[in-house]
């Protein structure tokens, strides 16, 4: 496993696998649902190598990793034995808004990668037509269009799966409900003269062509819709669980889906689908009305605050609105205002990359700049701009101007596509390249250039010059502290210890020794900060600040000091090799206790690395650990 150690450290610091209800991931983040967030070591996680930062929002505990989050996620799942959702979920107290954000992110997150990919294909296909490289009658165009359209056209099926999964129901029942909504034969039933019209004379007037058991069915097009299937999946899970309680176990496998589908498909077509479709139309009309009050101000507001929404996970509140607009209006002007945000952020990072003399900052800014071009801005936000405040504010200013441009130019998003530069083709409409598309390009260019220029001119407080950084880097390579072996015996890795606190590295990095002589000596010059009355464990702080814990055996505290003899006391200053205590190995083993002794550096996070000896057996005072300062 490539990220095995990082995965173990993350699991340990979110409170252990027993504290995890469920785990998913998006483009850059691990999204945990924890039973008790107070058990998580947030500050430790934030300062951990491989973790960008930690965000607590929308009822989720989000560990921001970066572009390689799928690989880290795979290792975390494998090591923790997690499923993407837990069957036994502890209900948490949360407000309605947090519950909404958590539900929406849980339903849409699994689809985003494929949704972006298919949207990019459709966007580039539109670009090929606009540039005259393809015609709409060619086989190439139509095949690419099928790839680009397939997911969004049959979106209810995909959302049926993810929604049922989120609501803890049978995933395939959710898919079946979604498939019934887009079943092609139903659309052919709306030809000819209707039987009658429901709600005639109102905005909800609906012709009825067919009935189900005498009940009128309002047939609508559910392709690309999002609200009907989410509501249907939610109700479907409730119905499914109701049947599961009353149907005998021996026939549950097929009778629960049988009964659920017989109830839910008609109910979805007769009640849930029409009501939620009308609600979707009202939502689309409402958001468009607000936008039309002042497209420029709307664009400025969305652009300026988009990155703030992303930080707190609040952008999920706009995602279903945008997808609903695409289904109802066939375009969305809301997310168009966010196009310039990632480019403003990237322009700011480029200015910092050019101006800084700090080697470490350059190392962070370069990959952040590259990922920012492709729309992934978390490394830029958390690693570069947000910690320095002014750069983040400047990026928001550039994004606001970019949003204002899209509002002024009437830019519309015509399909869900990629991020960053891959998002640009998504703004080509049915009529090809128009004013709105030019507005999208202008937003990208101007946001990027403004972010770069303002940041370059305004400047920022650099941490150190390049010479100082080089000097410190060189000093870091040579500064170290050596810990000698406090025991004579066989060397073992910490992972072999049958105690999770030690084996996972939760208490620090180090090594274990299987002693063959019952004499323990000081591994460094320092002070005995802790000597347990039972004699089974000691803590030493070296003169250079290294904090060391030596724990003789496992559960030996239960011996209450029997077979241990302390020679020095807490507070004594020791030299490496001084005898601290003695113990009777044979007697301890006879009493039924394991004698394997971990030697760990409890403040490991303060050091570059802890290097273990390559010996399999050590004598007292042999080199055991090298602490890189």
Instruction: Give the start-to-end residue ranges of the domains of the chain.
Output: 4-94, 182-291, 294-458, 479-628
Q: Where are the alpha helices (DSSP H) in 410-434?
A: none
**Residue 513: pLDDT over 70:** yes
Candidates 25, 315, 536, 551; catalytic one: 551
pLDDT of residue 60: 81
The sign one gets for the Cα dihedral 190, 192, 195, 199 is positive
d(CA 407, CA 400): 11
Domain made up of 4-94: CATH architecture? 2-Layer Sandwich (3.30)
Residue 211 has pLDDT above 70, yes or no: yes
Q: What is the 3-state secondary structure (H, E, C) of 526-578?
A: EEEEEECCCCCEEEEEECCCCEEEEECCCCHHHHCCCCEEECCCCCCEECCCC
pLDDT band (50, 70, 90) for residue 370: confident
User: Could you tell me where the DSSP H helices lie in 47-191?
Assistant: 69-80, 96-108, 112-130, 139-153, 155-166, 171-181, 184-187
Taking alpha carbons only, the member of 166, 149, 163 closest to residue 229 is 163
Range in 118-132, 237-251, 442-456 the model is least confident about: 118-132
- Concerning whether 315 is annotated as a catalytic residue, the answer is no
- pLDDT tens digits, 428-466: 888 888 999 999 999 999 999 999 999 999 887 765 444
Strand-pairing partners, residue 208, are: 196
**What average pLDDT does the structure give for the chain?**
85
Mean pLDDT on 77-81: 89
DSSP assigned state of 382: I
Average of per-residue pLDDT across 152-175: 91
Predicted confidence at residue 196, as pLDDT, reads 87
Q: For position 465, what pLDDT does the model report? A: 47
The predicted pLDDT at position 552 comes to 94
Report the residue count for the chain.
Answer: 629
pLDDT at 83: 67
Q: What average pLDDT score do residues 325-353 get?
A: 89
Q: Catalytic: which of 26, 315, 396, 536? A: 26
Exposure string of 308-328, with b = 16+ CB inside 10 Å and e = fewer, is ebbbebbbbebbbbbbbbbbb
* pTM, two decimal places: 0.52
- Rounded mean pLDDT, 23-34: 82
CA separation for the pair 343, 371 (Å, rounded) = 11
CATH code that applies to domain 479-628: 2.70.70.10
pLDDT > 90: percent of the chain: 40
pLDDT at 97: 58
Residue 439 is predicted with a pLDDT of 95
The secondary element (H helix, E strand) that includes residue 502 is: helix 500-503
Q: Could you confirm whether 150 is annotated as catalytic?
A: no
């Amino acid at each position: 496993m490539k990220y095995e150690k990082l995965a173990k450290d993350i699991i340990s610091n979110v409170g252990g696998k027993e504290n995890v209800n469920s785990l998913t991931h998006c483009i850059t983040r691990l999204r945990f649902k924890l039973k008790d967030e107070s058990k998580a070591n947030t500050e430790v996680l934030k300062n951990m190598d491989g973790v960008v930062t930690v965000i607590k929002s929308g009822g989720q505990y989000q560990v921001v990793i970066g572009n390689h989050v799928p690989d880290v996620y795979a290792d975390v799942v494998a090591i923790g034995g997690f499923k993407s959702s837990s069957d036994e979920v502890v209900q948490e107290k949360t407000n309605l808004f947090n519950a909404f954000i958590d539900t929406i992110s849980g339903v849409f997150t699994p689809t985003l990668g494929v949704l972006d990919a298919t949207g990019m294909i459709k966007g580039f296909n539109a670009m090929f037509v606009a540039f005259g490289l393809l015609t709409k009658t060619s086989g190439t165009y139509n095949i690419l269009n099928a790839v680009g359209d397939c997911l969004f056209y049959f979106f209810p099926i995909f959302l049926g799966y993810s929604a049922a999964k989120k609501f803890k129901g049978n995933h395939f029942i959710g898919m079946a409900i979604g498939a019934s909504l887009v079943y092609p034969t139903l659309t052919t039933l709306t030809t000819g003269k209707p039987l009658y019209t429901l709600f005639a004379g109102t905005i909800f007037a609906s012709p009825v062509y067919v009935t189900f058991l005498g009940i009128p069915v309002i047939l609508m097009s559910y392709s690309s819709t999002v609200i009907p299937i989410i509501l249907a999946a939610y109700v479907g899970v409730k119905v499914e669980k109701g049947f599961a309680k009353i149907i005998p176990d021996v026939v549950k496998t097929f009778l629960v889906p049988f009964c659920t589908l017989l109830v839910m498909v008609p109910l979805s077509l007769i009640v849930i689908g029409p009501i939620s479709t009308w609600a979707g139309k009202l939502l689309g009309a409402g958001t468009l009305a607000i936008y039309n009050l002042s497209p420029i101000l709307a664009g400025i507001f969305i652009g300026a605050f988009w990155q703030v929404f992303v930080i707190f996970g609040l952008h999920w509140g706009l995602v279903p609105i945008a997808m609903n607009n695409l289904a109802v209006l066939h375009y969305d002007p809301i997310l168009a205002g966010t196009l310039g945000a990632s480019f403003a952020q990237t322009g700011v990072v480029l200015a910092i990359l050019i101006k800084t003399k700090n080697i470490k900052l350059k190392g962070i800014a370069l990959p952040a700049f590259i990922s920012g071009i492709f729309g992934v801005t978390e490394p830029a936000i958390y690693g570069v701009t947000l910690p320095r405040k002014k750069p983040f504010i400047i990026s928001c200013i550039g994004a606001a101007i970019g949003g204002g441009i899209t509002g002024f130019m009437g830019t519309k998003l015509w399909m869900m596509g990629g991020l960053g530069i891959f998002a640009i083709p998504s703004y080509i409409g049915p009529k090809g390249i128009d004013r709105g598309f030019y507005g999208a390009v202008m937003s990208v260019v101007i946001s990027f250039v403004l972010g770069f220029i303002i940041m370059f001119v305004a400047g920022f407080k650099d941490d150190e010059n390049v010479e100082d950084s080089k000097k410190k880097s060189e000093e870091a390579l040579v500064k170290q502290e050596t810990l000698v072996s406090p025991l004579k015996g066989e060397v073992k890795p910490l992972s072999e210890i049958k105690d999770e606190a030690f084996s996972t590295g939760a208490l620090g990095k180090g090594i274990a020794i299987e002693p063959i002589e019952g004499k323990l000596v000081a591994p460094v010059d320092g002070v005995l900060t802790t000597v347990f009355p039972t004699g089974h464990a000691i803590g030493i702080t070296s003169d250079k600040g290294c904090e060391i814990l030596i724990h003789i055996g496992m559960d030996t505290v239960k011996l209450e000091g029997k077979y241990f003899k302390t020679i020095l006391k807490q507070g004594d200053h020791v030299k490496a090799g001084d005898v601290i205590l003695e113990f009777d190995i044979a007697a301890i083993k006879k009493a039924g206790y394991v004698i394997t002794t971990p030697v760990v550096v409890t403040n490991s996070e303060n050091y570059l690395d802890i290097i273990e000896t390559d010996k399999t057996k050590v004598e007292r005072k042999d080199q055991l650990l090298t602490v890189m300062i």
